[in-house]
Chain A
Amino acid sequence: MFGTPLAWVLARTEIPGRSLLRGLVLLPMVLPPVVGGVALLSAFSRRSLIGTWLFDAFGLQLTFTTAGAIVAETFVAMPFFVITVEGALRGMDQRFEQVAGTLGAGRVTVFRRVTLPLIAPSLAAGTVLAWARALGEFGATITFAGNVAGRTRTLPLAVYLQLEGDRDSAIALSLVLLAVSLVVLVALRDRWLARA
Chain B
Amino acid sequence: MSVDAAVSLQLGTFDLAVELAVPAGSVTAVLGPNGAGKSTLLRAIAGLVACEGGRIAIDGTVVDDPSTRTFVVPERRRVGVVFQDYLLFPHLTALENVAFGPRARGTSKAEARADAARWLAAMGLEEQARTKPRHLSGGQAQRVALARALATAPRLLLLDEPLAALDAGTRIEVRRDLRRHLAAFAGATILVTHDPLDALALADRVVVLEQGQVTQAGPIAEVTRRPRSEHVARLIGTNLLRGTTAGDRLLVDGAELTVVGQHTGPVFATIAPSAVALHREAPSGSPRNQWLGRIDSIDLLGDRIRVRLTGPLGIVAEVTPAAVAELGLVEGDEVWAAVKATEIEVYAE
Contacts and interface: CB of A to CB of B under 8 A. Distances in A.
A109 B89 contact: no
B87 A102 contact: no
B87 A105 contact: no
A120 B90 CA distance: 12
A105 B81 contact: no
A106 B149 CA distance: 16
A114 B81 CA distance: 17
Interface stretch (B97-105, B171-179, B182-190, B209-217): B97-105
B79 A102 contact: yes
Contacts of A96: 87, 89
Contacts of B201: none
Interface string A80-113: 0000000000000101101111111110010001
Interface string B16-54: 000000000000000000000000000000111000000
Given A98-B48, A100-B100, A113-B100, A105 B91 contact: no
Contact of B90 (A101, A113, A118): A118
B90 A105 contact: no
A37 to B, nearest CB: 40
Interface stretch (B70-78, B245-253, B277-285): B70-78
Give chain A's interface residue range (CB within 8 Å of chain B): 10 to 19
Given A95-B87, A117-B91, A102 B100 contact: no
A101 B91 contact: no
Given A96-B87, A96-B89, A103 B152 contact: yes
Interface in B63-121: 73-81, 83, 87, 89-91, 100-101, 104-105
A102 B46 contact: yes
A106 B75 contact: yes
A39 to B, nearest CB: 40
B74 A102 contact: yes
Contacts of A113: 100, 104
Contacts of B75: 101-106
Contact of A101 (B74, B80, B105, B148): B74
Contacts, number: 60
Query: How big is the B interface, by class?
Result: 20 to 34
Interface in A55-102: 93, 95-96, 98-102
Contacts of A114: 89
B104 A99 contact: no
A110 to B, nearest CB: 8
A116 B333 CA distance: 66
B152 A95 contact: no
Given A103-B152, A105-B75, A118 B91 contact: yes
Nearest to B84: A95
Nearest to A117: B91
Contact of A102 (B80, B89, B90, B91): B80
A103 B91 contact: no
B91 A104 contact: no
Nearest to B105: A104
Contacts of B78: 104
Contacts of A99: 81, 83, 87, 89
A103 B90 contact: no
Given A98-B48, A98-B74, A103 B87 contact: no
Contacts of B100: 100, 103, 105, 113
A126 B78 CA distance: 37
A59 to B, nearest CB: 43
A104 B89 contact: no
B182 to A, nearest CB: 18
A103 B101 contact: yes
A103 B148 contact: yes
Contacts of A103: 75, 80, 100-101, 104, 148-149, 152
Most chain-B Cβ atoms within 10 A of its Cβ — which of A98, A106, A118?
A98
B40 to A, nearest CB: 13
Contacts of B105: 104
B83 A104 contact: no
Contacts of B46: 102
Interface in B124-170: 148-149, 152
Given A96-B87, A101-B48, 8 more contacts: A98-B74, A99-B89, A100-B89, A101-B73, A102-B47, A104-B78, A117-B91, A118-B90
Interface of A: 93, 95-96, 98-106, 109, 113-114, 117-118, 120
Give the 4 A-B residue pairs with the shortest CB-CB distance, closest first.
A105-B104, A103-B101, A101-B74, A117-B91
12 contacts: A95-B83, A96-B89, A99-B89, A100-B100, A101-B47, A102-B75, A103-B101, A104-B76, A104-B104, A104-B105, A109-B104, A114-B89
